[in-house]
Amino acid sequence: VYSKRNHALFGERLALDLDNAFYSVADGLINSFRESADFEEFKLAVIVNFGIDTNITKEELEKGNIQQIAEKLYDEAKTNYNRKVVAVAEQTLPIIKNIRKEQGSHIENVAVPFTDGRKQIQALANLDKTIASGGNELPNALERSITLALIDDSWKEHLRAMDDLRHSVQTAGYEQKDPLVIYKIEAFSAFKQMDDVVNKDIVSFLCHCAIPTEQTNPANIKEGREQKTDMSKMRQRKEEFAGAASGTGGPEYISNENDYNDPSPAIKHEPIRVEPKIGRNDACPCGSGKKYKNCHGKDA
């Protein structure tokens, strides 16, 4: 049941998860490049993931305490992101106030586009909350939108991978291995990999995204409408998700017009057809009156 308290708890949990995501990416980079000892590639990876030029030195990366360096990189990334949040709030607040002034009190939400140059998403924020919070509600809405969208896409792909894994582990029995044990090990590894990829994608988008220049005017930051869940279509949606999990469609998350859409070409699988087996002494289906072994079955 939705309530203001539940909404606040969700916001607190999301903030905690984002902190964990930032630290997870920082820790992963430090551990990975400590092993490879490639400092230039490390600095490039930091730019790709966090959009910053780190102050960590080559000596620190090679000989410093891994946990302390990871915390230093995390602090750098979060400090830069917090500055970005403040800048977004200051950039959009005058426009949103103008929308309230010019278009009246009937508008409940605003939809603001963000892009990192590859993906684009529209953050749907409550107009009154955005004004009351000094613009901070908009970055919060963006964090919610991109997190849910990327988790949704990745989870569908993960379900498809688990279905493939379930079939592939059946052959482990021929190697005198327990398929269930192999499945658990591979499933855990796949989930950990999915979690790492989601964290990187979320952090990278948030650190690089911006409002397109042509959108920073009242004509393009416009009213947004939150779609309500139609419970009468729950069975239909369930079948669609089941189809997605079996590989019949690509990932798609749309909670608002042009919210987030990354459709992949639908893959149509032909059903497996098993033809009836003809016995060697049965009549040949060609109608010759001969036995199958003496007619078309000679070369079979």
150 and 119 Cβ atoms separated by less than 8 Å: no
Q: What does the pLDDT read at residue 281?
A: 76
Q: What does the pLDDT read at residue 239?
A: 52
Q: What does the pLDDT read at residue 73?
A: 96
* Residue 113 to residues 30, 110, 211, 217, Cα–Cα distance (Å): 33, 10, 6, 12
Q: What does the pLDDT read at residue 174?
A: 74
**Cβ neighbours around 147 below 10 Å, total:** 19
Q: What does the pLDDT read at residue 227?
A: 55
DSSP classification of residue 172: G
Work out whether the CA dihedral 213, 214, 219, 223 comes out positive or negative.
negative
| Residue written as token pair 């749907």 | 124
Q: What does the pLDDT read at residue 215?
A: 45
Q: Please give the Cα distance from 290 to 73 (Å, whole number).
A: 81
Secondary structure of residue 210 in the 3-state scheme: strand
**Tokens (6 digits) for 99:** 């929308």
Q: What does the pLDDT read at residue 13?
A: 63
144 and 137 Cβ atoms separated by less than 8 Å: no
Tens-of-pLDDT digits for all 300 residues of the chain? 334 445 445 455 666 688 899 999 999 999 999 888 899 999 999 999 999 999 999 999 999 999 999 999 999 999 999 999 999 999 899 988 888 888 877 888 888 899 988 888 988 998 999 999 999 999 999 999 999 999 999 999 999 999 998 888 887 777 778 888 888 999 999 999 999 999 999 999 999 999 887 544 444 565 555 554 444 444 444 455 455 444 444 333 334 444 444 444 444 444 434 345 567 777 777 777 777 778 777 765
Q: What does the pLDDT read at residue 4?
A: 46
116 and 204 Cβ atoms separated by less than 8 Å: yes
Task: Kindly list the structural domains of the chain, giving each domain's residue range(s) and its CATH number in brackets, ordered by start.
Answer: 4-245 (1.10.3060.10)
